[in-house]
Amino acid sequence: MHKLSPRQVHLDFHTSPLIPGIGSNYSREDFQNALKTGHLSSITIFAKCHHGMCYYPTKVGTMHPGLDFDLLGEMIDAAHEVGVRAPVYITAGWSAHDAEQHPEWWVRKKGGETASPHVDLNAAPDDPRPECNWIHLCLNDGSYCQHIYDITREICDRYEHLDGLFYDICFIGEVCYCDECVAGMKAMGLDPENDEDARAYYILKRQSFMTKCGEIMREKHPDATIFFNSGGADPYRPEYHAYETHYEMEDLPTVWGGYDKMPCNAKFFSKTGKGYLGMTGKFHMGWGEFGGFKPGFALKFEVASMMAYGASCSIGDQLHPDGKFDPETYRNIGEAYSYVEKIEDYCLDGESCTKLGVYLSGDSKSDEGMVKMLLETQNDFEIVYQDDYTPFDTVIFPDCVKLSDESAEKLQAFITKGGKVLFTGESLVKDGVFQIDPGAAYAGSHGFNFDYITVGDKIAEGMVTSPMYCYTPGAKINVTDGEVLATTTMPYFNRTYGAYCSHKNTPYDRNNSGHPAAVRKGNVVYISHKICALYKEYGSVYYKSYFINALNLLYTDKVMEAEMTSAGRAALIKQPAQNLYSLNLMYGSPIRRDKVEVIEDLPVIRDIPVTLRVPEKITKVFLPVSGVELPFEQKDGAVKVTVPELQCHELVVFCYA
Ligand SMILES: [Zn+2]
């Protein structure tokens, strides 16, 4: 049994109290048919929605006025009857009915102003309402939270077989100044006027909210799962991770910033030892979109991507108020999940094999830029978790990583033992001094807003050799005993009203060139530009080549190589219990169409050369989906195989003795 149910649907049911006949078209047969057609193993169903309506007979909350039976209880039973889990959804941060009744429960800014963006409190009833328009309620363990605890207890008491609880809209903010929070801070001896005090109070009280929900649930349901969405799976907020049994990485790649964010989050959560899932939607765009569809082949691409990074899958849907399941939605989901069924045993619960580590900076632009460059060059990587460098041969520090003295010491020990480091931009600079020695001294800024890089021979592969415009400048460094790999040329002047040239950046001044831009000393390479953020923002092939060429100077002993172009993805895991390695290969290039990125073209890619360097003797290489065995050769520590054909996704399994 996997840590987390692999094929899930998150079934939204935010239903206006103005709509009658809730569940009037629901039937157990129709629901169970949808579960079977969709090949589901779990479906998250609703106790309470953003309108503040409950879908079971409640004494604590408000049952939807258009509902006259226990829809939640019926759905739990129906799902269990066909062997499908049914965790229960409870809205937290948004509840319109509660917000109307209790303005004292609203999140407030300093001075009492509402902290809910986009909500126009003076709008007339006939004014058009913007999308996703809800008042934020305070989750800092005050009287609104007591209401959530009461609902939680009621659900836990009412249903004998509860698989789990999913609390939604637990956005992680920084501060709240509602009356209760202000009074709470004072009672604890904290000063509400002091921002640090307010932030400390927020964290403490949010943790206490999460703790109490879990305690109530476990009184009767010790094995149930619990997750707090909209912040509970943020790699940059680890202070909230301990209160959850698993992580649901909510993402809508078509409209939430593309397909390359999930892999990095998956890599992070794979380190936690808990289960994690990728969450997307069946919608064309966003949550709550009735009648919006993503084709089955695009869903298949999305869920296969999750599988490729060891994540279970969840697809969001929204049930029609009358309770009838949409057959086309479950046909599309079934296309995706019937494929997952064939590959999941080879994708979940594996161990990473790569020797390339990346240290997350906390700056999403830099981290995403770095990850994109690695994904697009099929360089499999893992996250450096809790400052442990030992699993790695090479570690990258993108743009703005600051290490504690203790971690810097660990890093130095790693380098001394032969570990290799690539760092960029303002990373590993503390009090104006590099924390490790790249053969140069950090010297701040050249004083220009942009500059130009010229690469040297050792990192020239695929590059232009002319000065290359960098939209943001590199740091100034003075070389001590390092080898210069690239140089910077400065512009004649910054572009100002007083001094400018042509439409854009001032050209380079050949008389102000030769400043070190990248330098190497032994196992350490430093690139002075924030090249990861530059790549994320500008996407130049030459930025990527510059970075990857520098990486390749260090990272020469790759466990896995798959030769594909930039839309190709490759990730390898080991499953020691089964004596096998699983290689996931993907190819799908999202197309941007104004507001959305869609997957439509999934071309067939042929003859992909793959090399694996593993110590075991490989006995068989095969493609589990088709059952085809592949010829291979293993010599000098390398297994070489050619994958004949790939469309969307292919799984290649290497068995060893
Ligand atoms: Zn508050």
Low-confidence ranges of the chain (pLDDT < 50): none
Distance 205 CA to ligand 1 centre (A): 9
Write down the pLDDT at residue 1. 52
Distance 181 CA to ligand 1 centre (A): 4
Q: What is the DSSP letter of 105?
A: G
Residues of the chain with CATH 3.20.20.80: 7-120+134-349
Write down the pLDDT at residue 592. 92
Query: In degrees rounded to 5, what are phi and psi of residue 67?
Result: -115, 135
Contact yes or no for 497/416 (Cβ under 8 A): no
Q: What is the DSSP letter of 473?
A: P
The span from the CA of 392 to the CA of 272, in Å, is 17
Residue pLDDT, tens place only, 249-293: 998 888 888 888 999 999 999 999 999 999 999 999 999 999 999
The span from the CA of 199 to the CA of 259, in Å, is 32
Distance 138 CA to ligand 1 centre (A): 5
Kindly report the length of the chain. 657
Distance 176 CA to ligand 1 centre (A): 5
Helices 261-269 and 296-308, packing angle to 10 deg: 40
Residue pLDDT, tens place only, 76-102: 999 999 999 999 999 999 999 999 999
Distance 182 CA to ligand 1 centre (A): 7
Decide the pairing of beta strands 440-442 and 433-434: unpaired
Residues of the chain with CATH 2.60.40.1180: 560-656
Among 512, 505, 485, smallest CA distance to 424 is for: 485
The span from the CA of 524 to the CA of 527, in Å, is 10
Q: Is residue 595 packed enough to be buried (19+ CB in 10 Å), middle (13-18) or exposed (0-12)?
A: exposed
The span from the CA of 476 to the CA of 251, in Å, is 38
Distance 167 CA to ligand 1 centre (A): 18
What six digits make up the tokens of 528? 């002075």
* Biggest alpha carbon–alpha carbon distance for the chain: 82
Distance 99 CA to ligand 1 centre (A): 13
Contact yes or no for 366/530 (Cβ under 8 A): yes
Write down the pLDDT at residue 3. 80
Distance 187 CA to ligand 1 centre (A): 14
Query: In degrees rounded to 5, what are phi and psi of residue 308?
Result: -60, -25
DSSP letters spanning 22-43: TTTT--HHHHHHHHHHTT-SEE
3-state class (DSSP) for residue 100: helix
Distance 639 CA to ligand 1 centre (A): 59
Architecture of the domain whose range is 560-656: Sandwich (2.60)
Query: In degrees rounded to 5, what are phi and psi of residue 68?
Result: -125, 20
| CA of residue 138 relative to chain centroid, distance | 25
Distance 217 CA to ligand 1 centre (A): 24
What six digits make up the tokens of 383? 């996250």
Give, rounded to a whole angstrom, the gap between the first and last alpha carbons of the chain: 24
The span from the CA of 171 to the CA of 286, in Å, is 18
Class of domain 7-120+134-349 (CATH, top level): alpha beta
DSSP letters spanning 517-576: EEEEETTEEEE-S-HHHHHHHH--HHHHHHHHHHHHHH----SEEE---TTEEEEEEEEG
What six digits make up the tokens of 262? 């999930």
pTM beyond cutoff 0.85: yes
| CA of residue 20 relative to chain centroid, distance | 38
Distance 45 CA to ligand 1 centre (A): 28
Distance 491 CA to ligand 1 centre (A): 51
Mark out the alpha helices in 325-419 (DSSP H runs). Answer: 327-347, 364-376, 405-416
Contact yes or no for 457/487 (Cβ under 8 A): no
Q: What is the DSSP letter of 444?
A: -
Residues with CB under 5 Å of ion ligand 1 are 138, 140, 176, 178, 181
Residue with tokens 């390695």: 581
What six digits make up the tokens of 163? 């698989």
354-554 falls under which CATH superfamily?
Class I glutamine amidotransferase (GATase) domain (3.40.50.880)
Write down the pLDDT at residue 2. 66
Query: In degrees rounded to 5, what are phi and psi of residue 212?
Result: -65, -40
Q: What is the H or E stretch that residue 208 is in?
A: helix 195-220
Residues of the chain with CATH 3.40.50.880: 354-554
Distance 28 CA to ligand 1 centre (A): 41
Distance 10 CA to ligand 1 centre (A): 29
